[in-house]
Each structure stands twice: as structure tokens, then as C-alpha cells.
Amino acid sequence: MDGVIYSGETLIEGADIFINYLLKNNIPFTFMTNNSQRTRLEATRKLKRLGIEVTEDHIYTSAMATGKFLGDQSPNGTTAYVLGEGGLLTSLHENGITLVDTDPEFVVLGEGRNFTLEMVQRAVDMILAGAKFITTNRDPSPKKPGWNNLGIAATTAMIEEATGRKAFVTGKPSPVMMRSARKYLGLETAETTVVGDTMETDIQGGVQMGYKTILVLSGISDKDTLSHYAFKPDLVVSSVDKIKFPLKWWQ
């Protein structure tokens, strides 16, 4: 959402018109976000403040993808020690995952500002003792002064270095999330288009899954650097309000 629909607390011009078009024409869509911290209710409330009214059913987060993945992997239930907040805790609970403070089968890392270095050390000890390590995404820090949330890639790297174990990533561009979001919408591969502002997550994930992709330049990506990548989007536009229907591959 950030970089595609809004920038911080400011709506990107025309984003509300684009979403209203999808709603009016019954085009199925979901806001697919790597943010595992925020609950779906919190996400819809923020969108409403910016003038976009959707339901919680229109939100699909990396927390939801993580919960579904663990639920599918362990249909009889499993245990997890979680470094994360509301959205992740809620999703794990809804998928039958028991949250514990000792001897977990999994250590799950999401965004958050409420866990301490002591909790990170405890997670390291659990992984060294045999717990499997999952992170909801590897989004980097934006590297801007005053940013109030350390990028999850940094925390993941710290735990990986301390344990010698690589995290299994469930969020974009992982096929785990890209596939589960498509199935959540009830779409086939050929019917699916990913709209995003980041080449390394949104577009790469869509290309790897065989989806159509649209890159918007209203967020992170810079048109001058697109040639650096071995893959490319099907369409590049300045912002979502420049996406015109019907798209040629939908005709």
C-alpha cells in the first residue's frame, strides 16, 4: 500500500479513483502488504482516513500468509515463539498455532517495536536448540533519519548471524505469499496482475509466479534503474491513476 496507494499519511493522487473503479466494476482485488504488524482492521481504518472505504476482506498481509503456511504445514497444531505484534499474533492464533515462551517448534519474526534485545537473545537460544526460524519478510530499512521502525531485514540478519541458520521467508516475493494471495482471491494464474512500487518484492514475486505485473513509480522504484534487473514488468506507469482499463491482456 505504501508507495502505491499512499505515501506515509498522504494519499497518492488518483488512488481513490482507481480503487473505486475496481469496486464499481466488481474486479476482485486485495491490498497485499508485507507489513505483519498491523491488523486488517487497522489497515482499513487508515485507508478510510485517506478516503478509501474497503472491508477487511480486501486486506492480505504477510502475517496471514505466515499463519496459513504454518497451519498447512502442521494441521494438528504447532507451537511458536513470536517476535511481533497484533497482526501476526492474531493470524497465528486464528490458524491454530499455540504461542509459547519455551521450547517452541518455530521462532517467528515480524515487524515490531515492543520486543527487546533480551527477547531476541531468547529467540537465538531457541533456534540453536532446534527451533525452526521463519520471518514474515525481508523488507529493508528505508535508511532515512528519524525512521521509527527498524527494517525487518536488519533484525533477521542479526538472528541469522547469531545462529548460523537462514530464515525461511513467507512474505513477498516468496511464492508462499504470492500464491496464497491469489488463492485467497479465487483467481487463476492467468487472471492475476500484481501492481507494486518495488522491483525486488512486488514485481519479482509476480514475474516468478507467472502473473502480469505493473510497476508504479510513485514509491521506491526509479525508472532509470530498471535496466539493472534481469526481469521487467509488463507495464510501467507513474501512479495507479494512469492504469487504463481494459488492460490489453484482459481484452
- DSSP letter string, 65-131: HHHHHHHHH-TT-EEEEEE--HHHHHHHHHTTEEE-SSS-SEEEE---SS--HHHHHHHHHHHHTT-
Q: Tell me what pLDDT residue 192 has.
A: 96
> What's residue 247's pLDDT?
81
- Write the DSSP symbol of residue 193: E
Q: What is the mean pLDDT of residues 137-152?
A: 75
pLDDT at position 147: 64
Residue 128 has pLDDT above 60, yes or no: yes
Those residues whose C-beta lies under 8 Å from the C-beta of residue 121, and which sit 6 or more positions away, are none
Query: How many CB atoms neighbour CB 103 within 10 A?
Result: 11
pLDDT surpassing 90 at residue 142:
no
Evaluate the CA torsion angle 194, 196, 200, 201 in order and state its sign: negative
* Calpha distance 161→83 (Å, rounded): 17
Question: For residue 106, which phi and psi values (nearest 5 degrees)?
Answer: -135, 145
What span, in angstroms and rounded, lies between the C-alpha atoms of 9 and 94?
30
Cβ neighbours, 10 Å, residue 156: 20
Helices (H) and strands (E) in the chain, counts: 8, 12
DSSP one-letter code for 251? -
Higher local confidence (pLDDT), 251 or 7: 7
pLDDT band for position 227 (cuts 50, 70, 90): very high
pLDDT band at 251 (very low <50, low <70, confident <90, very high): very low
Q: Is 166 exposed, middle or buried (0-12, 13-18, 19+ CB in 10 A)?
A: exposed
Provide the percentage of residues in the chain whose pLDDT is more than 70. 96
